[in-house]
Amino acid sequence: MIIFAHCMFLYAYIYVNCSEKKICPFAFSFFFCCLIGIVATCCSNEDVKTNTEQGAEYRATLESLDWGTDSCYVYGHKTPDVDAVTSALAYAKLMRSLGYKCVAKVSSPVNRETEYVSKKFGFELPALKTSVKPGTRLIVTDHSEYVQCVDDAEDAIILQKIDHHTEGSIKDDDVPFVRRLMVGSTNTIIYACYNELGVPIDDEAAKIMLAGILSDTNNL
Ligand SMILES: [Mn+2]
């Protein structure tokens, strides 16, 4: 209603002002109405409500996953860069905060940049685990190809995929929960996941995600 009232007011105002100058009043008023509509929508509480609804849906999807009884491993891609390692850490932390037994791992040794940021920001790097047993539950981050996965991932159960690359051999349709968006880094997506689920971002999570975002986007 508020948006509609704003639009009507603007329409009338712009019509009066433009008619003397012989500029198409309708085009102008339409443009401004659209603009104010967008701004008003962005600033309204409707967004918050939508996020809450999305968060509830997200939580329900997570609950419906077949988690098994052992730990679920969260892996970035092989030959991991900062985003691969930190996205696994940040997402495992997010899942743990919701009560799921998730542990971040790396499938091959980390690079020097990752070692440097982990020391600088003071977070622990994931342990190295180069292969997984059949039936192991996995969450893959920052990759969408089996060739980039931990060894024997083909026989594992991939529960989730969080990625910012194009769809590869790990098909979206074969994974119960997928967040694949073409954004700067996988941590950009994970930051949104924290917000959507309403999970507070502590100092450690912020540093981990920031490291991934800065690295993958070349300092933004
Ligand atoms: Mn990445």
* Average pLDDT for 139-160: 98
CA pair distance 124, 201, nearest whole angstrom: 17
Would you state the pLDDT for residue 26? 52
How many percent of the chain have pLDDT more than 70?
77
Name every residue whose Cβ is closer than 8 Å to that of residue 115 and which is 6 or more positions away in sequence.
Answer: 125
Dist. CA 115 → ligand 1 center (Å): 17
Dist. CA 174 → ligand 1 center (Å): 21
Would you state the pLDDT for residue 94? 98
Dist. CA 61 → ligand 1 center (Å): 24
The pLDDT of residue 3 is above 70: no
Dist. CA 166 → ligand 1 center (Å): 11
Q: Locate tokens 């694949």: which residue?
A: 180
- Helix, strand, coil % in the chain, rounded to nearest 5: 55, 15, 35
pLDDT band at 201 (very low <50, low <70, confident <90, very high): very high
Average pLDDT value for the chain: 85
The pLDDT of residue 184 is above 80: yes
pLDDT band at 219 (very low <50, low <70, confident <90, very high): confident
* Average pLDDT for 190-203: 97
Dist. CA 84 → ligand 1 center (Å): 6
Dist. CA 206 → ligand 1 center (Å): 17
The full set of domain ranges for the chain reads 65-216
Dist. CA 120 → ligand 1 center (Å): 20
How many percent of the chain have pLDDT more than 90?
74
Dist. CA 137 → ligand 1 center (Å): 22
pLDDT in tens, 54-109: 899 999 999 999 999 999 999 999 999 999 999 999 999 999 999 999 999 999 99
CATH architecture, domain defined by 65-216: Alpha-Beta Complex (3.90)
pLDDT band at 52 (very low <50, low <70, confident <90, very high): confident
Dist. CA 143 → ligand 1 center (Å): 8
pLDDT in tens, 108-121: 999 999 999 999 99
Q: Are strands 72-75 and 102-106 parallel, antiparallel or unpaired?
A: parallel
Dist. CA 58 → ligand 1 center (Å): 22
Dist. CA 182 → ligand 1 center (Å): 10
Dist. CA 142 → ligand 1 center (Å): 5
pLDDT in tens, 19-31: 554 545 554 444 4
